[in-house]
Every structure is written in structure tokens, then in C-alpha cells.
Amino acid sequence: MSDDYFQKLSDDGLFGSTEGQLSVDVIESAHEILVRSAIAGVESEDLDIHVTSDTVTIRGTREHGCHTSESDTVHIQECYWGAFSRSVVLPAHVRPESADAVLKNGILTVRLKKAEMSSHLSPTSF
């Protein structure tokens, strides 16, 4: 592969857009839904989590302290740095007001209690 190919990957970004996308695990139990994502290098204050009755949206920014100069050649850039987001449609309705998010050791865990179908559900952000 030519250096031009690697430069194009670097210029376009690994994800083909200006915003990266998180990988997530969604786990359902009898009473709750767990959304988990590895987001190393992100502080909790750099995260925005929005929950509705059937969707979770996670947004944030990951910055790195190492900058390259124009004379440096980036051969591989697989880590995404910058703004990211991910919206997940949940497998069951949840109670947004019950959302609890914990960021520990680079792992974000969002716990959501399942809702009864007859209850009125409204969006919640935290």
C-alpha cells in the first residue's frame, strides 16, 4: 500500500465521518436492561447520556495528548479521537427516570429498569 492510501485513511478518519461510533453491549434481564461500552480515555464530565422509553444515546469526546507534526507520517490510525456518539434502540421499554450510569476503569455501564407497558414515559438526560 502506498503512503497516499494511509494518508487518505487518516484524512477521512477510520469511520468515514467526523464523528466516531461506540461499540456497545446490550444485555436484558427479567427486570432491567444494561448498556455497556468500553470508552477508555473519556472523563464522565465529557459524556452526555440521553434516555427515552426505548432508546439510549451516548455522546462524548475523546482527546489525546499526543499531537503529530506535518513532517510525521502516520502509518496506522485505528484509535478514534474526537467526538463520538451512539444511539441504541432498546429491546424493551424502560423507565428513563430510573437510569443510572457509572464510568469505572474506562467502562461505561448504564442500568435501566424495565417499564410496565401502561405507564407514561418521558425522556430524561443526565
| Of 6-20, 78-92, 103-117, minimum mean pLDDT range | 6-20
CATH number belonging to the domain at 3-63+74-115, selected among 2.60.40.790, 3.40.50.2300, 3.40.630.20, 1.50.10.10: 2.60.40.790
Q: What is the mean pLDDT of residues 51-71?
A: 86
* 117 contact partners, CB below 8 Å, separation of at least 6: 93
The span from the CA of 109 to the CA of 117, in Å, is 24
Per-residue pLDDT tens digits for 97-114: 999 999 999 999 999 999
- Pair type for strands 107-113 and 32-38: antiparallel
Residue 89 gets the label, from left (phi > 0), alpha (psi -120 to 50) or beta, of: beta
Global pTM? Answer: 0.71
Rounded to 5 degrees, φ, ψ at 9 are -60, -40
Reported as a pLDDT band with limits 50, 70 and 90, residue 78 is: confident
Helix, strand, coil percent values for the chain (each to nearest 5): 15, 40, 50
Q: What is the amino acid identity at position 118?
A: S
Q: Which of 39, 41, 55 is nearest to 99 (CA)?
A: 55
